[in-house]
Structure 1
Amino acid sequence: MADSDTLETERTRLRLTCRHLAGNGPARLADEFEAIAAWLRQHGDRLVGAEPVPGLQPDVYGTGALVEDFEAEVAALFAMPAARFMPSGCMAQPIALRIWSDRAGNPATAFHPTSHLELHEELGYRHLHGLTAHLIGAADRPTTAADLARAIGPGGVAGETGLASLLVELPAREIGGQLPTWEELVELGDLCRANGIRLHLDGARVWQAAPAYGRTLAEIAALFDSVYISFYKDVGALPGAMLLGPRDFIDEAATWQRRQGGTLYTAAANVVSARMHLAECLERMPRLIVRARQVAALFAAHPRASVLPHPPHTSMFHLRLDGERDELLQARDRVARETGIWLFANLKDIDGQAAVKTELSMGPSSLLLDDAELAAAIALLLEDGSPSDGR
């Protein structure tokens, strides 16, 4: 076996056997499917004596109580009129922007320069839906009303045609989970309404935003015309998403979902997974925000480390470490062997600097590590990085 294969095998072993700082920790996919099967047996058809008792049946092409009850439950959580379960946000969000553009007779939308739609979806909004996107605001901070005012004002990028919609991500992942202040968000919503611009929420991680603001999900959603949420980020379920908005908007979105092949014969496993995990996510999220700030402070106590933003706005942040990538990965492995703690997965080089960065998003596993052992692991990581004697 090549040295590189041996190294990756060892790293896989460490990743699967250590306690994780970020995320949900190592998990066996079979465990999730066994839990889904148990849920379905509990809620599905059963016999009482000799008489069959009907239960929830698998959804069929997006219809049926299994999915429709869950859609109604989530719509109520956000105080939105209706909701539609979809396979992914990459499908749901461009559909939302397409509907708002069609209704306005204007293909122009706008979002942050680091939006997932711009960076990670092969420009699907353009190629599939014929939309034109304006990137507004600075790439290192949230979008503000001042950014929008400049974009739609005289000489602005959207000054001639205006905008049908604006997409805002809460929190914004690519800038460390930053949030605008509540007052800035309200001001942005007011400006959109005053100019007939539909405001759409990229709420992939909105579960973090509610306790960070000290607001309910319904209070946040009230500022927006449509909302997208994810069930595998933070919730920890199998892949799945939901689009929320007015009833006629959701009916139209369902048509677009069918046009794009997104209305599967059944999505029962994904729906059940989301239903099982959502309540736990909502319960633990306030604690995870506190935990992110504690963990960030432990890293920031070292001169070779810095965090963005500091303190974290939500349950995630970006970590910057001085040093070479390979050296720090070797140090991470050493920490894992000696302490049983897996501090992070990957590191990315920072252009032009002898430094790297990674994203840390707190999940249930972070709550199982006490500060003393985590502080010792971080101190070991940020020593000179050379292996200890005999290793």
Structure 2
Amino acid sequence: MRMETLLEVYKQSKYQVPGHGKRDFHVLKRVMEGMDGQQESDLYGKGKVIEDFQVKMSEYLGKESAVFFPSGTMAQQIALRIWCDQKGLKRVAYHPLCHLEIHEEDGLKELHHIEVILLADKSRVIELDDVIGLNKDIACLLLELPQREIGGQLPSYETLEAISAYCRDKGIRLHLDGARLFEILPYYKKSAAEICELFDSVYISFYKGIGGIAGAILAGEKDFTETSRVWKRRHGGDLISLYPYIISADYYFDMRVNKMEQYYEEAKELAAFYNQCDRVSTMPIVPVSNMFHVHFEAAKEKMETILTAISKETGIGLTGYVREVTKETSNYEVSVGDLYSQVPKGALKNVFQLLNEKMKEN
């Protein structure tokens, strides 16, 4: 008889700990129920629905202008291309685990022929000394806040200010990969506009902490965004209509952007539960946003068995997957959203008591 997988059991669980819920058709249906069916859609990047949202986002980010893109991959490659063209130098720098480096099939290099310098050790964030120590000129430096692949770590705000000042002094453009910008505002105790002021261009996502369907904003000065519109057309990003993405982004932005403090505090509480368990730790130990990584001193297959058993016994799902780090260690990522507050605290504590017992036994 076939054993149920961890993912199957997780999906069937009464309570799921991370995220906002299933990514099903209800994500869009919920938005559409309150819409005026007579409202006109956008058309090839123009129209009230897209233009109003772009203005709303530019004001929120404190930037002169903003453009809606169907994907962050497209937006960020275009941003770096613009800065390289402006300086006449096709070379940029970013973290070794940057999204452009490990998740985009070398799109920046193959499509735009841009050379990349990898800054800092992959286990930590980029610091000022890394930037000062560059031995080649670059057109643009990309900083990802938070650095997702290492558990969502962040540099200090003073470091950000120092890097920004150094880049402006040296004529280096500074681009923000702010896919999770909203989620870091509680930690820095800054507004989005205050953080974005340090950067020449900014990308934000609407399907991560916000929980929309898809879509991104690229923001900066008007000359920059007007050039990005040209590149957006070249990349095939001007679909005849993007309104399902836009209206869902707007709807869930309004619903969740002011809940990031709640998610952040809940993430710290959840991480503390994990860190009380034998051979379990989080990265960072104390989260700096609503996301963190959970690390186990146990093999992937062993953790799948343990987590499946816990979910079946309690009806609470901690995760639907586990990744292999080494033959003896494993991990997974957690992002706290709307679902966490729905889990009864007593039942949640029981889950971690079980996890601790099983980790001691195995």
Instruction: Give TM-score, length-normalised by structure 1.
Output: 0.89
Partner of 2:203, secondary structure, is: strand
Higher relative contact order (CA 8 A, sep 6+): 2
Residues in 1 aligned to 2:202 and 2:290: alpha-carbon distance in whole angstroms: 20
User: Match of 1:48?
Assistant: none
Is 1:86–2:86 an aligned residue pair? no
Is 1:15–2:3 an aligned residue pair? no
For residue 92 of structure 1, report the CA deviation from its aligned partner.
0.3
Contact 1:18 1:336 in 2 (8 A): no
State the one-letter code of the partner of 1:33: L
User: Match of 2:26?
Assistant: 31
User: Match of 1:62?
Assistant: 45
Identity %: 34
Deviation per CA, 1:251-290: give whole Å up to 9, x if none: 1101101001110000111111101100222111001111
What is the RMSD computed on CA atoms of the aligned residues? Answer: 1.7
For residue 21 of structure 1, report the CA deviation from its aligned partner.
1.0
Partner of 1:127, secondary structure, is: helix
Is 1:118–2:115 an aligned residue pair? no
For residue 349 of structure 1, report the CA deviation from its aligned partner.
1.5
**Residues 150 and 385 of structure 1, relative CA distance in 2, 3 Å threshold:** closer
Deviation per CA, 1:321-364: give whole Å up to 9, x if none: 1222222212212221221110012111122x512111111111
For residue 99 of structure 1, report the CA deviation from its aligned partner.
0.2
1:198 aligned to which of 154, 170, 173: 173
Contact 1:210 1:216 in 2 (8 A): yes
Contact 2:279 2:359 in 1 (8 A): no
1:368 aligned to which of 338, 342, 361: 342
State the one-letter code of the partner of 2:333: E
Q: How does 1:244-255 map to 2 (within 5 A)?
A: 244-255=219-230
User: Match of 1:185?
Assistant: 160
The unaligned stretches of length 5 or more in structure 2 are none
Contact 2:9 2:311 in 1 (8 A): no
- Tell me how many residue pairs correspond in the alignment: 361
State the one-letter code of the partner of 1:38: E
Residues in 1 aligned to 2:214 and 2:12: alpha-carbon distance in whole angstroms: 21
**Residues 107 and 14 of structure 1, relative CA distance in 2, 3 Å threshold:** closer
User: Match of 1:292?
Assistant: 267
Residues in 2 aligned to 1:312 and 1:346: alpha-carbon distance in whole angstroms: 20
For residue 68 of structure 1, report the CA deviation from its aligned partner.
0.5
Contact 1:291 1:366 in 2 (8 A): yes
Partner of 1:122, secondary structure, is: coil
Give the number of the structure whose alpha-carbon radius of gyration is greater. Answer: 1
Q: Which moves more between the two structures, 16-25 or 297-306?
A: 16-25
For residue 16 of structure 1, report the CA deviation from its aligned partner.
3.8
State the one-letter code of the partner of 1:337: K
Residues in 1 aligned to 2:7 and 2:149: alpha-carbon distance in whole angstroms: 26
User: Match of 2:192?
Assistant: 217
The unaligned stretches of length 5 or more in structure 1 are 46-55
User: Match of 1:356?
Assistant: 330
2:121 aligned to which of 138, 144, 147: 138
